[in-house]
Amino acid sequence: MRKRYLPMLIFIIGVLAIYPSLTSRADAIWEPFGDFYEQHWEECETSNESYLTNSKEGFVTVYESPLSGKEVAKIKNGKAVYIGCVWKDQKGKLWGAVDLSGFEQEEGEIVDKEAGSGWALMENFAEIYNEGDFRAEHRNEFKKYAGELDDYEIKNEIMIWTYPGSEELRNTISEYWDENEVPAYEYLYTDEGGLRWTYIGYYYGMKGWVCVDDPENRNLKTSYGPGEKKQELYPVKTPDGELHVTLKNPADGSLKIVVIAVAAVVLVTVILIPVIFGKKRGKRK
């Protein structure tokens, strides 16, 4: 039985090797590093969204975990970071798992390159206008797709954007699965600049918007740019220049249990030493 399926397995592996452009990171779920996530993953909820750093301090402090006093990054306000999942502490505050791998650090920011990820309070982030916001804002302007790209021949690669004007490239298609299987484009949208866009709901792990009038322009810009959400944004301040390690638990501000235990041992020792030595002196008499 196993030998019978071996040729099929080899064929599938070969196809994936030939068409790497059709695989996508969009379906992969990023997970934070560290013992905290391994111990609390069942309590975490998927976020899978980018957020804008937006703390009253002017920068966001990222910790090794919600229960660790070790700082792993200090990022200025106004930077987009990816939050893979969130965790709620005992006080009901949400913590987001921040992807630090590949983060483009600016002057004045501090990032522990060995950390890979960290955790920060979600109250220190602002929402970023996303594809869902765009869809809600322009839904009434969508028209039926009429095959505008069905016969399009790829010269280099088709660009897939998060939404029209986002300037965020989500994926690319360098070749179709076969000549008769182009993406299932769902509808058509014409932006304020006259450019037409069509939406891919799913194509081998990829989804997003393609500019019908300029599908292969990697540097495509629009006059209106990315959308914005109405919310309070705080000024940017430069961090103090170094990462700290504190004995406090970031999740509730209390000292760690180990510190209390050590203090208790010290206190007991201080009390017992005079008693013990007092007894010894008494015996010598």
* CATH code linked to domain 35-126: 2.30.30
pLDDT in tens, 14-44: 434 434 433 333 445 789 999 999 999 999 9
Task: Check pLDDT > 70 for residue 205.
Answer: yes
Q: Average of pLDDT values for 88-101?
A: 96
Q: Average of pLDDT values for 211-220?
A: 98
Please give the pLDDT value at position 14.
47
Q: Average of pLDDT values for 76-100?
A: 96
Average pLDDT over the chain, rounded to an integer: 84
Structure tokens at 189: 């949208």
pLDDT in tens, 125-149: 999 999 999 999 999 999 999 999 9
**How many CB atoms within 10 Å of residue 96?**
28
Contact between 66 and 95 under an 8 Å Cβ cutoff? The reply is yes
Nearest to 231 by CA among 145, 83, 127: 127
Provide the pLDDT confidence category of residue 218 given band limits of 50, 70 and 90.
very high
pLDDT in tens, 230-276: 999 999 999 987 899 988 788 877 765 444 444 444 454 545 555 54
Sheet holding 45-53, edge to edge: 110-111, 71-76, 59-63, 117-121, 94-99, 80-88, 45-53, 125-127
Higher pLDDT, 94 or 276: 94
Collect contacts of 209-215 with beta carbons under 8 A, ≥24 apart: 209/131, 209/160, 209/161, 209/162, 209/163, 209/164, 209/166, 210/149, 210/158, 210/159, 210/160, 210/161, 210/183, 210/185, 211/159, 211/161, 211/164, 212/148, 212/149, 212/188, 215/149, 215/152, 215/158, 215/159
Task: Check pLDDT > 80 for residue 59.
Answer: yes
Q: Average of pLDDT values for 194-210?
A: 95
Instruction: Specify whether the backbone of 165 is left (phi greater than 0), alpha (psi in -120 to 50) or beta.
Output: left
pLDDT in tens, 153-188: 999 999 999 999 999 999 999 999 876 688 999 999
